[in-house]
Amino acid sequence: MDRVVIRFAGDSGDGMQLTGDRFTSETAQLGNDISTLPNFPAEIRAPAGTLPGVSSFQVHFADYDILTPGDAPNVLVAMNPAALKANVGDLRRGADIIVNTDEFTRRNLVKVGYAVSPLEDGSLEGFVVHPVALTSMTVGALAELSVSKKDAERAKNMFALGLLSWMYSRPYESTLRFLERKFVKRPDLVAANVAAFKAGWNYGETTDSFSVRYEVKPAKMVPGTYRNITGNAALSLGLVAAGVRSGLPVFLGAYPITPASDILHELSKHKKLGVVTMQAEDEIAAVGAALGASYGGALGVTTTSGPGVALKSETISLAVALELPLVVVDVQRAGPSTGLPTKTEQADLNMALHGRHGEAPVAVIAAKSPSDCFHAALEAARIALTYRTPVILLSDNYVANGSEPWLLPDVDALPDLRVEFATAPNGDDGVTFLPYLRDPDTLARPWAVPGTPGLQHRIGGLEKADKTGDISYDPANHDYMVRTRAARIEAIDVPDLDVDDPDGTARTLVLGWGSTYGPIGAACRTLRHRGQPIAQAHLRHLNPLPGNLGDVLSAYDRVVIPEMNLGQLAQVIRARYLIDAITYNQVRGLPFTAAELETMLEEVCKNA
């Protein structure tokens, strides 16, 4: 086969995220291109066997370059009736369904509204159903081991992993080593999980239910060393690299919040590379500590999601007034308020652009894929350090928890981010330090580390006098400083927007930002294969926008902007460029599928 989409689904206590992650790791070793979509409930432990408690992990792997986790699974592993009911509607006809028949009890069926078992009423006739007694077979395979029945039942996810690994010819040695490390303090659990995995593999080998094994050959990729990486991990390593390339310590002030917490977890591992992490008591303390670190000469970073950005807004405004570097990472989730904490959305753009009082512009950029988070973090650091400004880096739950292969970069080829601190007075008299005397190219002010002799200066949120930084209530000075801070953002060096228009004959442009990159790209690729010319462009820099964006937009008859919000980028495009963009919006807590965008874009082109 050239591609496969598998979804593991079960109760939130069934280990589906671990199972999917291990299958992904095995697949990565074979050199397939990979894209994943974890999907889990917000509750720490929803009621067992219920629809709100279903957790799933989807992995798409192929022998060619892929852009999304896939639209419709070829295989669904359903550990209980709830998992089947929650996911069967996403399957294409003819898909394989592996069901754990031990969980299809009368009680579990009633919990999710099944009057009759779907395994018996003919409702699954369009699929290839494989009934497997996963739980009892796992318990039977571990009967001679010294583990409790409860621990034996918990190992059923490893049975399922072994079976799927056999079906798709995945290697398994790394999984066995992983189990040895994970349960190193419990040799009995190592033995149980290894035995369950091997039992699943052997079941596939010997049963008549699975008569065919499949192979997906490695993808053709740029030569180099790869690792499978999530968006949050890539973003973390991007911040580490920014510290290395700038020669500055990286300070992270963070308060745990879904789905950004993994950045704090990852960065806390890298103390040897000059990273200091502080888990603050709240969001306001976290950003305050990060800004204080920047004042002290470090690269200050704070990570959060939408609710945290709302709380941090006053301190971000302070960073605007102080004109100090600050990287604010917003891993977006569905809102408003607490919203859907574990579901994706890209509805924080308006807040990133305008969510502060007064005229307080900041730079805004967005990552487009899990591996791109590394480069987006480096770019955020470059802008913050060069222009002495807060930068809001937008990721989202889909990008943060999804994974894909990442080509390890040559560190020496990464951007040089070194900065020069102020070391001496800069006034005409040779003894006065003017903290708001600006670089003529970047409009950035000097960065003076506290304690440097002769560079004492006033800080705080009250308006500053030009050059001297003294408190000023002068109307003309305030007008000048407001305009200068805005001009500093507009002065940021932003690359021109690249347009993917292979034959140059397209009359429709699809413009996206953030995590819509993959679905848009996959939809455009399919339409081109069918002979429909269509162009695609994707924005990384959202403030300031690329200088050639106006020319790009005016070169096409129609501009379509798909967003997982109600049209926030479209509002900006309409206001700035007077382009009557066609919007396509959804706020379902799920990413677009390539198929739905393909259908919509085909209609736009057809009706032009």
Q: What is the pLDDT of residues 225-246, one digit of tens each?
A: 999 999 999 999 999 999 999 9
- What is the predicted pLDDT for the residue at 220? 92
Please report whether residue 219 resides in a domain.
no
> Which among 445, 437, 401, 399 is positioned nearest to 421, based on CA atoms?
445
- What is the predicted pLDDT for the residue at 13? 87
18 and 158 assigned to the same domain? yes
140 and 249 assigned to the same domain? no
Q: What span, in angstroms and rounded, lies between the C-alpha atoms of 572 and 354?
A: 11
485 and 558 assigned to the same domain? no
97 and 140 assigned to the same domain? yes
* Domain of residue 508, CATH code: 3.40.50.920
> Which among 145, 137, 127 is positioned nearest to 103, based on CA atoms?
137
Containing structural domain, residue 353: 227-413
- What is the predicted pLDDT for the residue at 47? 86
Query: Domain boundary residue among 380, 397, 413?
Result: 413
Please report whether residue 514 resides in a domain.
yes
Q: How many residues does the chain have?
A: 608
Q: What span, in angstroms and rounded, lies between the C-alpha atoms of 258 and 54?
A: 18
485 and 584 assigned to the same domain? no
All residues at 6 or more sequence positions from 498 whose CB lies less than 8 Å from its CB, including other chains: 537
- What is the predicted pLDDT for the residue at 44? 76
Q: What span, in angstroms and rounded, lies between the C-alpha atoms of 199 and 334?
A: 40
Cis preceding linkage at 519, omega within 30: no
446 and 548 assigned to the same domain? no
- What is the predicted pLDDT for the residue at 172? 86
3-state secondary structure of 391: strand
Which residue stretches of the chain have pLDDT < 70? none
Please report whether residue 212 resides in a domain.
no
Looking from the CA of 276 toward its CB, the CA atoms found within 13 Å total: 14
- What is the predicted pLDDT for the residue at 376? 98
Give the bridge partners for 179, in sequence order: none
- Report residue 537 CA to chain centroid gap: 20
Q: Which tokens sit at 438?
A: 């600006």
pTM of the model: 0.95
**Cβ(17)–Cβ(401) under 8 Å?**
no
Q: What span, in angstroms and rounded, lies between the C-alpha atoms of 217 and 64?
A: 9
3-state secondary structure of 164: helix
* Domain of residue 316, CATH code: 3.40.50.970
Query: Domain boundary residue among 364, 394, 413?
Result: 413
516 and 476 assigned to the same domain? no
Please report whether residue 248 resides in a domain.
yes
Degrees to nearest 5, angle at CA 261 with 231 and 363: 65
105 and 146 assigned to the same domain? yes
292 and 341 assigned to the same domain? yes
291's enclosing H/E stretch is helix 283-295
3-state secondary structure of 496: coil
Q: Are strands 558-563 and 582-585 parallel, antiparallel or unpaired?
A: parallel
- What is the predicted pLDDT for the residue at 225? 94
Counting the structural domains of the chain, the total is 4
Q: What span, in angstroms and rounded, lies between the C-alpha atoms of 592 and 518?
A: 9
401 and 425 assigned to the same domain? no
Please identify which residue in the block is written with the tokens 């932003």: 494
465 and 443 assigned to the same domain? yes
The full DSSP string for 501-534 is -TTS---EEEEEEGGGHHHHHHHHHHHHHTT---
The full DSSP string for 530-553 is TT---EEEEESEEESPPTTHHHHH
- What is the predicted pLDDT for the residue at 212? 80
Query: Domain boundary residue among 359, 388, 413?
Result: 413
